[in-house]
Homo-oligomer: A and B are copies of this chain.
Amino acid sequence: MSEKLNGARALVQTLVNCGVDMCFANPGTSEMHAVTAFDSVSAIRPVLCLFEGVVTGAADGYGRIAGKPAATLMHLGPGLSNGLANLHNARRASTPIVNVVGDHATFHLQYDALLTSDIVGLARTVSSWVFESKSANTVAADAARAVQAARSAPGSIATLILPADTAWTPAERAAPALEYIRPARVEASTIKDVARLLSNGKRTAMLLRGPPLIGEGLEAAGRIQAKTGVRLLCDTFAPHAEAGAGRVPVDRIPYFAEQIVASLAGTEQLILVGSKPPVSFFGYPDKPSWGAPQGCVFSTLAFAHEDGVKALQDLADALGAASTPPPRMSLQLPEMPNGELNAVSVAQIIARLTPENAIYAEEAATAADALLTHLASARAHTHLPLAGGSIGQGVPLAVGAALAAPSRKVICAHGDGGAAYTLQALWTMAREKLDVTTVIYANRSYAILNIELQRVGAINVGHRALSMLDLHNPEMNWTKIASGLGVEASRASSCAEFASQYESAMKAKGPRLIEAMI
């Protein structure tokens, strides 16, 4: 293009130089120059979302699958505020994301105009790196540092605040990519120590998270398991897992505090690989927060910022397991169910009909147990759950995953309460023609809360309290909502209906939604 470089264009070109090729956006006036930069820098793809919770959730899904950051483009403090909940989730997932948040022109900030707010204060709550650009000529270097921060191991959120005048003022040049911090090599002495632990005859488990839980990391863990009998574990909400037929089986730690304790009972040694000690999701009266048995000895093979994959490979070598074949899950598809449509039969149909190599963006809440149980021995797949516990992540997550892996089928399995948070993501699925099949578990309830109500010891529960957990009045009609947002949708009230609709969705390409009346 012939026009002169300005800060916005230098920024966007720098993002591209640093390997960022996707930008989820909901821009406003202060981001108009960044938006026009998309015309001159074609190597980055702008994706419009109708709400910033979709922007950030999609960036999380993209980052988890692509293994590199997407950019976001949001409008001042309020735009960032709307994106914070899914940034919280992304932070917990260690997903690399580069936020670009527009701000008022530097000369305008002194007037405290209505949209002025504490952007740095907001950004700090989720970011490892926050910086406000000071001039058009430093924007490019700032952007390179933002990507550097986001990509440095183990991956994190970097937020660059871009005052409007630093975007529109002429700039000299874009910046090249900076070297970022690669995962640190674990020392040989640590490998030896852990190898010794694995040979001391104690009941030992290894808790894997991040890259150690997928690909080469999981394969190495499998060889170690086969050689030593160590139990392989992953967190309830491990942000990125690979499972299904042909994969090394890993036990998922259950959700509720007392289930965690039961699951870990008897464990004498727990080896952390990119993970932290297991704790319960919430604290309860008279229930433990700490999951491991008293006296269980914790050791760390690799911290999250270290190269856990290489550490597992080194450990396998040290154990003489370099060529030990790992255990592999065998394919076992459920029979087609005939009874009533519920969390189990939905899971059976999904497990039976979903093709190889699908990605599950899963926020199925109370229906998740049944789904994960049946998927464990279904066709090989990738699982992306609600990584930080803030509901309303799954539908945006599916958007980002589908853009990161356009050739793979994405299944978004979602509770209705959580899906209502960020339903605007359906519109972006339609706009970008993403190959996502969304299954809404329509139980018209915050069902998990009906369980939790008892568990936290609430007594004498009356109708006003119960009404706060109930979504029957009125009933959301997800078929209409999805259709109103441009996604082809249908409702299934029986196994036969669900199976037929799901099968048709698996055969087609493009966005579909099925409202499963469970």
- A contacts, CB < 8 Å to B: 1-3, 25, 27-30, 32-33, 35-36, 38-40, 42, 46, 48, 50-51, 53, 77-79, 81-82, 84-85, 88-89, 92, 104-105, 107-108, 111-115, 117-118, 121-122, 124-126, 164-165, 168, 237, 276, 279-285, 289-290, 387-390, 392, 417, 420-421, 423-424, 427, 430-431, 448-449, 452-453, 456-465, 467-469, 471, 473-486
Contacts and interface: CB of A to CB of B under 8 A. Distances in A.
A424 B118 CA distance: 27
19 contacts: A36-B459, A39-B464, A46-B464, A50-B417, A51-B420, A81-B390, A82-B85, A84-B122, A105-B283, A108-B280, A111-B279, A111-B289, A113-B289, A115-B388, A117-B126, A121-B125, A122-B122, A474-B486, A480-B480
A39 B463 contact: yes
B108 A456 contact: no
B114 A92 contact: yes
A92 B81 CA distance: 15
B29 A452 contact: yes
Nearest to A47: B468
A33 B458 contact: yes
A53 to B, nearest CB: 7
A484 B481 contact: yes
A438 to B, nearest CB: 14
Nearest to A82: B85
A378 B27 CA distance: 35
A3 B462 CA distance: 13
B39 A465 contact: yes
A112 B78 CA distance: 27
Contacts of A284: 105
Contacts of A36: 453, 458-462, 465
In the assembly, how many copies of this chain are there? 2
A496 B280 CA distance: 60
A474 B431 contact: yes
Nearest to A461: B36
Contact of A88 (B38, B81, B420, B459): B81
A235 to B, nearest CB: 9
Residue of A35, A452, A462 most packed against chain B (CB within 10 A): A35
A187 to B, nearest CB: 26
Given A28-B449, A122-B122, A282 B484 contact: no
Contacts of A50: 417, 420-421, 471
A427 to B, nearest CB: 7
A475 B484 CA distance: 8
Contact of A32 (B281, B390, B424, B452): B452
B481 A285 contact: no
B283 A114 contact: no
A353 B327 CA distance: 74
Nearest to A463: B39
Contacts of A481: 480-481, 484-485
A48 B390 contact: no
Given A281-B114, A468-B27, A473-B431, A107 B420 contact: no
